């Protein structure tokens, strides 16, 4: 992929910081079709523990300045690189069409696997906004995919979001998008990772939970701006200043 194209997509104020990226590029080959990407090493490694370990150790990737990601999808990596330079996810996928929910879940799982909290949080914001604009919720199929491919709420707070969406549906059945009440209750009982916190939410915050949807990133009484984020201790949430509510 042309680096020129990626940089052209970034906002002007981000382009002016290109000197901080350094001049060294690394080359990454993605997917079964081996799609090539060239990315500034310093920028990439500053955003992902995975890539930092790969390119700043004594590994083969570090020595050669390149690596392959055969199990990842090219459109997911392109979405990551576009975000890396522009620092915003944007409404359009690399193919020019709007992101769909399955693609956003794939981006989230990629961010988690590559240990990029900032990208993970940006995608989580995108998921909430996408669902809010459509008054929708995560389908049972996507919730299942999320749980199969994540380990815990500490690594993937999207699990907490799944539970919040389902409990919202139980109070607002008109938002049913593939769920029925028995299926939803069965899932909540099965989800031992979140079950205790969920019960507190149900019994101690019923009135608040009914009034506020988990889809809205508006610092409500229950779901603050980064309630579904992953942050290091003392880290400032970037979403607060970037938030544009959907009207």
**pLDDT 10s digits, 61-78:** 888 999 999 999 999 999
- The position carrying tokens 């993970």 is 120
Q: What is the DSSP string of 106-134?
A: HHHHHHHHTT-HHHHHHHHHHHHHHHHHH
pLDDT per residue as tens digits for the range 181-235: 656 665 655 555 554 544 554 444 455 555 678 888 875 667 788 889 988 887 7
Q: What's the mean pLDDT when you consider all of the chain?
A: 79
User: Is the model's pLDDT at 114 over the cut of 70?
Assistant: yes
As beta bridge partners, residue 92 has 98
pLDDT per residue as tens digits for the range 1-18: 444 334 434 444 444 457
CB 239 within 8 A of CB 229: yes
Predicted local distance difference test score (pLDDT) of residue 8: 37
Predicted local distance difference test score (pLDDT) of residue 10: 42
Q: Give CA–CA dist 209/38, Å, rounded.
A: 46
DSSP letter (8 states) at residue 23:
S
Give percent above pLDDT 70 in the chain.
70
Q: Give CA–CA dist 223/212, Å, rounded.
A: 8
3-state secondary structure of 183: helix
pLDDT per residue as tens digits for the range 43-58: 999 999 999 999 998 8
Predicted local distance difference test score (pLDDT) of residue 207: 54
Contacts with 35 (C-beta within 8 Å, 6 or more apart), sequence order? 1, 29, 74, 77
Q: Give CA–CA dist 51/143, Å, rounded.
A: 28
- Compute CA distances 49 → 8, 53, 110, 195, 227, whole Å: 26, 6, 13, 30, 22
Surface-to-core class of residue 4, CB atoms within 10 Å of its CB (0-12 exposed, 13-18 middle, 19+ buried)? exposed
Higher pLDDT, 110 or 87: 110
Q: Give CA–CA dist 141/102, Å, rounded.
A: 10
Tokens (6 digits) for 4: 């020129």
Q: In what order do the strands lie in the sheet with 35-40?
A: 35-40, 25-30, 66-69
DSSP letter (8 states) at residue 137:
-
Q: Which of 55, 38, 57 is nearest to 47 (CA)?
A: 55
Q: Which of 30, 9, 122 is nearest to 76 (CA)?
A: 30
DSSP letter (8 states) at residue 97:
S
**Which pTM value belongs to this model?**
0.82
3-state secondary structure of 79: helix
């Amino acid at each position: 992929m042309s680096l020129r194209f990626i940089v052209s997509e970034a906002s002007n104020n981000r382009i002016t910081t290109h000197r901080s990226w350094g001049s060294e590029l690394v080359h990454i080959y993605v997917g079964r079709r081996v799609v090539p990407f060239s990315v500034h090493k310093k920028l990439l490694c500053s955003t992902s523990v995975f890539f930092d370990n790969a390119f700043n150790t004594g590994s083969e990737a570090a020595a050669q300045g390149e690596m392959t990601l055969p199990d990842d999808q090219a459109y997911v990596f392109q979405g990551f690189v576009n975000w890396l330079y522009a620092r915003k996810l944007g409404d359009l996928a690399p193919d020019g069409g709007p992101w769909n929910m399955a693609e956003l879940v794939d981006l989230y799982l990629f961010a988690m696997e590559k240990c990029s909290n900032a990208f993970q949080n940006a995608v989580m914001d995108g998921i909430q906004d996408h669902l809010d604009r459509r008054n929708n919720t995560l389908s049972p199929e996507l919730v299942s995919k999320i749980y199969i491919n994540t380990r815990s709420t500490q690594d993937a707070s999207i699990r907490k979001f799944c539970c919040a969406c389902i409990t919202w549906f139980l109070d607002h059945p008109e938002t049913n998008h593939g769920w029925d009440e028995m299926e939803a209750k069965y899932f909540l009982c099965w989800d031992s990772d979140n079950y205790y916190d969920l019960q507190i939410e149900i019994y101690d915050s019923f009135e608040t939970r009914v009034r506020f949807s988990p889809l809205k990133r508006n610092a409500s009484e229950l779901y603050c701006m980064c309630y579904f984020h992953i942050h290091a201790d003392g880290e400032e949430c970037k979403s607060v200043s970037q938030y544009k509510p959907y009207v």
